[in-house]
Amino acid sequence: MRILALLLASLIGLGLILLIRATVDFQYRRQAENDHLEIQMSAVGGLWKFKLQVPTARLTWEEGPQLEVLEETQAVTGEERDTKVNVRFRYFRRGFFYRLWPMIPRLLSKLNHIKVKFYRGIHCTLLDWKVKVGCKDAAYTAILAGNFWSMIGYSLAKLYRQVTMDTNHPQLSVIPNFNQPGFSCELHCVFKLRIGHIMVVGVDLIRLVMREKSKFQ
């Protein structure tokens, strides 16, 4: 009887976890040559929070390209911890790519299927995109502003096709600074998705990797 009760409690707990909705707050800012990327994740009404900041990208060719990442996590007790991590990219031997090349079309097709499945479960609740651009020549500034409007329109149409848009009024603006050279960009998006959806898509991705790895060997 105890085993049955424990099993039932485990199933109920797993079901609740699968139904939990996570919030992803994505912010990107570029001012002149300075970039700042910040991703905040929260769930269970803010009891669990995770923040990832990527202020700089640093290339050290002697040691391989590195990405400096600042991680900040907040526990239920309110305690915050900061961790700085240097992520180094691996180099691969040429023979690896020679064997991988014939498999790329099939892998891309299967990965695209998983990507479409993942995007279907994402809900966008906020979209705020501001661009300021300027050149010394006013005509070039106008042309450049028009190009940015085209880019934003294409990106927005693609976003509407891939995810569920729960916001009917995205805030979009391109501000031309005539006779004043410069560029700045601010992008703020908020997405919501269920933990269960992430787990299901993650299982599909792991199964794909394991199957292709066995064929590759």
Model pLDDT, residue 79: 59
DSSP, collapsed to helix, strand or coil, labels residue 66 as: strand
Model pLDDT, residue 106: 80
Per-residue pLDDT of the chain (217 residues; tens, 9 = 90+): 677 767 777 676 666 666 778 888 999 988 877 778 888 888 877 677 888 777 655 434 444 445 555 555 555 555 565 555 555 555 555 566 666 677 778 888 888 888 888 888 899 999 999 999 988 888 888 999 999 999 999 999 999 988 988 888 899 999 998 878 888 999 999 999 888 888 888 888 888 888 877 766 5
Whole-angstrom distance, CA of residue 216 vs CA of residue 95: 12
DSSP, collapsed to helix, strand or coil, labels residue 198 as: helix
Residue 50: exposure state from Cβ atoms within 10 A (0-12, 13-18, ≥19)? middle
Whole-angstrom distance, CA of residue 46 vs CA of residue 197: 19
Give me the count of residues in the chain: 217
How many other C-beta atoms can be found within 10 angstroms of the C-beta atom of residue 52?
Answer: 15
Residue 203 near residue 158, CB atoms below 8 Å: no
Residue that the structure tokens 């991988």 belong to: 100
Model pLDDT, residue 171: 92
Alpha-carbon Rg for the chain, nearest whole angstrom, is: 22
Q: Is the pTM here over 0.85, yes or no?
A: no
